[in-house]
Amino acid sequence: MPNQKAFSAGSKVPTLENGVLRVYSMRFCPYAQRTLLVLAHKNIPYEVVNINLKSKPEWFLQKNPIGKVPVLEQDDKIVYESLICCDYLDQVYPQNRLTPEDPYRQAQDKMLIEHFAQMMTEFYKVRQGPPAEIPAGLEKFRKQMIRFETEIQKRGDYFGGNKIQMIDFMIWPWFERIFIMEKMLSQIILSDESLPKLLQWTLRMSECLAVKQCRRPVEQHMEFFKTSKMGVPNYDVGLEE
């Protein structure tokens, strides 16, 4: 199922068997990848239904009126928004718990996720803006990255401390894409001597089993990116007969 072609408008909703946990996803979505990482880390059985986000099935919009993936569905329960999905899974499936016990630490992790989201949003704005503004934008990005370096220096091998926690999985999908698609950004991380722990973290994360299981081949990412930029995203890259 993870490699099933995306369902589009006009399609029939695939039958959901009793008790089966389903994830509505898109094969290149970093938010959906968050959920898939948590599922893999916890070894939770699930099935995937991929959605064509340019031509969404009517039944998908009924399940999530916001219209975004990921969405979880099991029997009569529906959960959407990636952070909410991941928290939900961590509570319902307590094995390999990913959320720290300490409420203050939980709050700190959530704030760090917000900082990360803001940094990436700003970066994408710079990338789409006038080329002359790119150098200043990249310098700003480098300075913001130092926040993450300082944080991981305090915390340990992972943002979660001495083991992977939710915070690591929540920011990882973008790091994966930085190395694949954002040459300018990856150069900053690879060459900046003020980010040593962050670089070690990216290497450590690359070795994590869940990360390996949820990774897509670079060529597929590149092709998806290319077709998206042209305004005709090919959600089924690599699945063509």
Q: Is 94 in the site for ligand GSH (CB under 6 A)?
A: no
Per CB under 6 A, the list member of 14, 67, 129, 196 interacting with ligand GSH is 67
Q: What's the closest the beta carbon of residue 32 comes to ligand GSH, in angstroms?
A: 7
Q: Is 53 in the site for ligand GSH (CB under 6 A)?
A: yes
Q: Please give the backbone phi and psi of residue 210, each rounded to the nearest 5 degrees, phi first.
A: -60, -40
Per CB under 6 A, the list member of 27, 41, 68, 221 interacting with ligand GSH is 68
DSSP string, 210-230: HHHHT---HHHHHHHHHHHHT
Binding mask 3-42 for ligand GSH (x = CB under 6 A): -----------------------x--x-x-----------
Q: Is 61 in the site for ligand GSH (CB under 6 A)?
A: no
Verify whether residue 214 is a known catalytic residue: no
Number of shown-chain residues binding ligand GSH (CB under 6 A): 11
User: Closest by alpha carbon to 38, among 107, 109, 91, 112?
Assistant: 91
Whose tokens are 């917000």? That residue is: 114
**In the complex with ligand GSH, which residue's Cβ is closer, 71 or 126?**
71
Q: Is 155 in the site for ligand GSH (CB under 6 A)?
A: no
Contacts of 236 (CB under 8 A, 6+ apart): 5, 6, 27
Helix or strand (DSSP H, E) at 153: helix 134-155
Q: Are 152 and 197 in contact (CB under 8 A)?
A: yes
Amino acid at 77: K
Q: What's the closest the beta carbon of residue 71 comes to ligand GSH, in angstroms?
A: 9
Per CB under 6 A, the list member of 7, 82, 145, 158 interacting with ligand GSH is 82
CA distance 65 to 239: 28
- The SS3 call for residue 89 is helix
Q: What's the closest the beta carbon of residue 217 comes to ligand GSH, in angstroms?
A: 18
What six digits make up the tokens of 108? Answer: 């700190």
Q: Is 121 in the site for ligand GSH (CB under 6 A)?
A: no
Q: Are 227 and 233 in contact (CB under 8 A)?
A: yes
Q: What's the closest the beta carbon of residue 67 comes to ligand GSH, in angstroms?
A: 5
Residues that bind ligand GSH (CB under 6 A): 26, 29, 31, 53, 67-70, 81-83
Instruction: Provide the annotated active-site residues.
Output: 29
